[in-house]
Amino acid sequence: MKIRNIKIKIREIKLGDYEWIKKLFKRRWGGEFIVTRGKIHKINELKGYIAEVDKKRVGLITYKIRGKELEIVSLDSILQGKGIGTRLIKKVISLAKKKKLTRIWLITTNDNLKALGFWQRRKFVLVKVYPNALKISRKLKPNIPLIGAEGIPLRDEIELEMKLRNQTN
């Protein structure tokens, strides 16, 4: 499928992808794991999809399913503005619907204004704010900075969700 003049292929993560994912996590997330809501998410415990353009990896979405819910743990697009992130999200939504899950959710931080807009444009709704949650996260991952994007103090976690039970699209 062509989107914005490039052909994007979406596929499941394979065993041979983990070294690339490890490098991506270190570069984008400051380590080999991500912390959300006080839980450590290790690379090898996550499922996900990789976006490829001309057989080159250009995007990654990781998730974890618990019960009837799917948590999106990470989303990375190496080529911004090409529809890669949106395609990865659509793939996860399709999976969640196929598995008859009721909710997809994710955590972002109070400084990540770009992500807040991105997710809301894709029909995710802000449902909770966890004030000072990063104080707990820093105990598990001390290298989380105190100041985030746009010079905003990095303090709070924000939960966004998409309910699937009555979704018609």
Confidence of residue 4 (pLDDT cuts 50, 70, 90): low
The pLDDT value given to residue 169: 46
Confidence of residue 5 (pLDDT cuts 50, 70, 90): low
Taking the C-alpha atoms of residue 156 and residue 142, their distance in angstroms, rounded to an integer, is 15
Q: What is the pLDDT of residues 113-140, one digit of tens each?
A: 999 999 999 999 999 999 999 999 999 8
Q: Under DSSP, is residue 146 helix (H, G, I), strand (E, B) or coil?
A: coil
Q: In the predicted model, is pLDDT for residue 141 greater than 80?
A: yes
Q: Judging by beta carbons within 10 Å of its beta carbon (0-12, 13-18, 19+), is residue 117 exposed, middle or buried?
A: exposed
Distance of CA 16 to the CA centre of its chain: 21
Contact 127, 160 (CB under 8 A): yes
39's CB contacts (< 8 A; 6+ apart) are none
According to CATH, the topology of domain 2-163 is Aminopeptidase (3.40.630)
Q: What is the pLDDT of residues 89-114, one digit of tens each?
A: 999 999 999 999 999 999 999 999 99
Q: In the predicted model, is pLDDT for residue 167 greater than 90?
A: no
Q: In the predicted model, is pLDDT for residue 19 greater than 80?
A: yes
Contact 41, 73 (CB under 8 A): yes
Which contiguous run of DSSP H or E holds residue 96? Answer: helix 84-98
Confidence of residue 3 (pLDDT cuts 50, 70, 90): very low
User: Of 68, 91, 77, 46, which Cα lies nearest the Cα of 164?
Assistant: 68
Q: What is the pLDDT of residues 39-69, one digit of tens each?
A: 888 888 899 999 999 989 999 999 999 999 9
Return the number of other C-beta atoms located less than 10 Å from residue 73's C-beta. 23
Average pLDDT across the chain, whole number:
90
Give the least confident one: 71-75, 154-158, 162-166: 162-166
Give the least confident one: 75-84, 134-143, 159-168: 159-168
